[in-house]
Each structure stands twice: as C-alpha cells, then as structure tokens.
Homo-oligomer: A and B are copies of this chain.
C-alpha cells in the first residue's frame, strides 16, 4: 500500500467520523479501527490529531471548490442558471443520508474558539466561497453585493437544512435568490 493511499484511507475515515460525531468525540483508536490503519502508521503520516483535522478540512475545501465549479459549468451560460446552480448543488447534498450541516461551520463552532489554525482554514473557506460567488455574478454583469446576499442565503440554507432536517431549505433559498437576481437585473 502506497503512502498516499494510506493517507487517503485515514482522511476518508476521519472525514466520515468527525463529520458524523464531531471532532473531540472521535478518539484516535476509533479512527484507527475505521480506517484500518495502525496507530503507528497514522502517527507516521500526521504529527498529531490536530493535523488530521486540518488535513480533512483542507481536502473538503478542495472537493467543495471543484464540485461548485463543476455545477456551475454544467449549468451552461445563462446568467440565472449559473448563479442558481449552487442551490441545486445544495439540494442534492441536503438529501444525502449522512448530511449534518457544513463541516466548516461545525468545526468553527467546536474548535474555532481554541484552535486558531482551524479558525483560519474555515475563514478562508468561506471567503473563497464568497469570492467564487462574486466572480460568477460579475461574469453575468451582477453586483458583488448581490453575490454576498446569495451566499448568505446559501449559508442559511445549510444550517437550517441540517438542524431542521429539511432539504426544502435549498428550494426556498433558490426561490429567494431568483427574486434577488430579478430585482438586481431590473435596477
């Protein structure tokens, strides 16, 4: 087994466990059992648990970024459709069985107050998302204020869908987004 594969195995298990139960609630032994990788190997790959958490978040950030890009690309060239693609992506995500909110928001709540690196990664992730939305808006000739408001809707949908266990949040967010975009085009 390659070193890189082992790393992925550990991160796969860590991502799943941390997301489902929270970070502190998952011990290294549970991670070892789920990943099927010995403690010795894990600590050869990562200096400490904190570094695994950071690596999980970094990988999740990259995955989110690329699936957002893909969703927008697949939405074609229509200004409306491109900006609304994010809400379709959210709806799909909200419907998955394991959905339990945004891992970054969860990480910020649990660790942001005591772990500055986690706080930084989460902040960068959300800043990146806002920048992407601003870019998509700009490409359609729409304002960055609108983009920011659309991202607020997306964030709100994530927490609401998680806590209320209700994927409808995505649909309502999209409906609101449509109104905001239409109003922005009119002005």
Q: Is A127's CB within 8 Å of the partner chain B?
A: yes
Say which one of A32-40, A58-66, A72-80, A154-162 lies at the interface with B: A154-162
Q: For chain A, which range describes its interface: under 10, 10 to 19, 20 to 34, or 35 or more residues?
A: 35 or more
Q: Is A69's CB within 8 Å of the partner chain B?
A: no
The DSSP consensus for interface residues of chain A is: helix
The answer to whether A160 touches B152, judged by C-beta atoms less than 8 angstroms apart, is yes
The answer to whether B172 touches A176, judged by C-beta atoms less than 8 angstroms apart, is no
- In the complex, what residue of chain B is closest to A184 when comparing beta carbons? B179
Partner of A100, one of B22, B113, B173: B113
In the assembled complex, which residues on chain B have CB atoms less than 8 Å from the CB atom of A169?
152
Partner of A110, one of B106, B160, B180: B106
Partner of A156, one of B21, B114, B152: B152
- 7 CB < 8 A contacts A-B: A22-B24, A106-B110, A126-B163, A145-B175, A148-B172, A152-B153, A158-B159
Chain A residues proximal to chain B, CB less than 8 Å: 20-22, 24-25, 100-102, 104-114, 122-123, 126-127, 130, 145, 148-149, 151-160, 162-165, 169, 172-173, 175-176, 179-180, 182-183
Closest 9 CB pairs of A and B: A106-B109, A156-B156, A152-B156, A155-B156, A110-B110, A149-B176, A109-B109, A24-B24, A21-B113
